[in-house]
Structure 1
């Protein structure tokens, strides 16, 4: 059988009898037991197009011997009809482990949709608005994490800005820019400090340089310490360490302690409440604005991603109801902003009124709305 070891596996929804083949990666694997007590392996397959799960049953397991998380594989899959309340699924026909040097292991993530040159321009424009003391604080923090790691980091595993490199920079620039837009509201301009808004936007997620990593064949992973220490507390740790190491440098630059404290407050409170990972709730005006700006950036990016990867409404699937509703609202919004076509001249039609047998004292009207329109 001819195998194309360069073509990526098309990640599509299974239909009964469908056949697909190509290269992908084993992003995760887990041993599980069915309700009938049968042991099987659940494998998460993925490449730059997306990911989906594949159940490997006992009679198929020998073919997967020696294949582990992070490995690249060539697979052929066969669609099976759903049963027992579950939708259609894929079953594997053949699998071949790829060499570790295969490029599929390094191109699991979609590219950042914003070119690096544009991100650099936006970053420079934000930094140019900072005072010299604020620029000094930003410089020592980036030196602590290294600017290379900051620009290489993703902003999330999957929900928003889940790209690497540039995911964190893309999201951080959006947050700072959104915060500055909110600061233009006339009544509140004098209340908000520009240095805190920009630094808070660019550094609010700096803890993600320690929280996330990109692993070949797997994609974006969370560091073990992230289970105990969220990026809000990791960010506070990074900034505190940077300021301690560069105390004399910051003093010479005139960086005030209140600015450091304000940035730390933004970092630890930008998720709003403890249940969402914030040790403290937003207390300052800048903290509230950056909390809102963070939500705007994350939710808009997630919505855009859902719309771009959604199944057409004409072909709904049983497990994408949320995306279907999102599409429906999006299409309603598009129609609402589309100028209506002029109605053709119509003859006036009198409403049709039907009166049948009704209880005494009750009047019932049945108007044909189509003719009455």
Structure 2
């Protein structure tokens, strides 16, 4: 049974990936485990009561389980429950499952369309320095392969293979509209910033079945990592083509866009936007991230389950689905 098929209370069985596991102790002193499990169709919480430490150690992040549990309603949302006193799971060894079943992501024609947005935008830039900088990254096969499969986050939004490319293409598309709406905008600067704003995520995440944060990502953060990658690329361009190939006057504004695109200090930006282009990039980035949360909540909402989704932790609220209102309106 896939996660998307768990729509009502009752017994369930299926093969799932452990996305997170935490050891807890209840008020009565009895241990239990809270797990987040999933497949490419969605995620769901699993509570395991009266679990031993030995059993818990087997349920670590990245493990694939053959699971038998019960779906129960808790505070308006379904969760799975199992008893540690029973044999409720079996560890699946490599070769006993299809990794593709646990790797949601963008593929096929969708990827091709996203790359078309990226490459066409590059080709339409007027300033040769920006085109040269973007070519340094996007015309390298190894880079394109990494960018093609990289997630856009560990959780919350675009946390799947191809998520970084999808998010980047969407932010670029929003910025193109903004640049048309506000003619005083430096279009080349804004679109270059949009294409490179999350570059540091390539060094921030790792893992095949489960997305993990790297040491660099945790200690430095993807904004600083991205700025470092761009700075190194600019230095390489100057070393090869001369100082005039990327004028110093272009470097600082671009760095500012990358470092300020989270918008607020409490959201992780070391500096707030001080350029119109930086302001627009921040809002485009935030807009697509928020829209992705809503879209994910819509996708995960079981059919025939009413207009309101269960409480969504990422959005900190339930959302209302117009499609569920009924076609008679």
For normalisation by structure 2, the TM-score amounts to: 0.84
- 1:86 and 1:180 map into 2 onto residues whose CA distance is 39
For residue 292 of structure 1, report the CA deviation from its aligned partner: 1.6
Match of 1:314 among 297, 306, 316: 306
Match of 1:280 in 2: 271
Matched ranges for 1:238-277 at <5 A = 238-251=229-242, 254-277=245-268
- 1:299 and 1:176 map into 2 onto residues whose CA distance is 16
Question: Could you give the per-residue CA deviations for residues 159-205 of structure 1, whole angstroms, max 9, x where no partner exists?
Answer: 222220x21111112112211211112xx31x222221111111001
Q: Which runs of 5+ in 1 are unaligned?
A: 1-6, 341-373
Q: Which runs of 5+ in 2 are unaligned?
A: none
Does the CA contact (< 8 Å) of 1:82 and 1:89 recur in 2?
no
For residue 276 of structure 1, report the CA deviation from its aligned partner: 0.5
Match of 1:369 in 2: none
Match of 1:122 among 117, 121, 144: 117
Q: Does 1:75 align with 2:71?
A: no
Match of 1:53 in 2: 45
Matched ranges for 1:328-367 at <5 A = 330=322
- 2:26 and 2:323 map into 1 onto residues whose CA distance is 40
Q: Does 1:168 align with 2:159?
A: no
Q: Which of these two proteins has the greater Rg computed from alpha carbons?
A: 1
Does the CA contact (< 8 Å) of 1:145 and 1:238 recur in 2?
no
Does the CA contact (< 8 Å) of 1:10 and 1:20 recur in 2?
no
- 1:267 and 1:273 map into 2 onto residues whose CA distance is 13
Match of 1:223 in 2: 214
For residue 252 of structure 1, report the CA deviation from its aligned partner: 7.0
Does the CA contact (< 8 Å) of 2:114 and 2:165 recur in 1?
yes
CA gap 1:22/1:9 in 2 versus in 1, 3 angstroms: farther
SS of residue matched to 1:124: helix
CA gap 1:265/1:99 in 2 versus in 1, 3 angstroms: same
- 2:142 and 2:266 map into 1 onto residues whose CA distance is 27
Match of 1:108 among 91, 102, 108: 102
Of 319-328 and 127-136, more deviation after overlay is shown by 319-328
State the superposition RMSD in angstroms. Answer: 3.3
For residue 80 of structure 1, report the CA deviation from its aligned partner: 4.9
- 2:245 and 2:310 map into 1 onto residues whose CA distance is 60
CA gap 1:320/1:204 in 2 versus in 1, 3 angstroms: closer
For residue 104 of structure 1, report the CA deviation from its aligned partner: 4.1
Does the CA contact (< 8 Å) of 1:155 and 1:163 recur in 2?
yes
Q: Does 1:147 align with 2:144?
A: yes
- 2:288 and 2:33 map into 1 onto residues whose CA distance is 37
Match of 1:182 among 178, 183, 187: 178
- 2:112 and 2:309 map into 1 onto residues whose CA distance is 39
Q: Does 1:27 align with 2:23?
A: no
For residue 317 of structure 1, report the CA deviation from its aligned partner: 7.4
- 2:291 and 2:273 map into 1 onto residues whose CA distance is 22
Match of 1:135 in 2: 131
Match of 2:203 in 1: 210
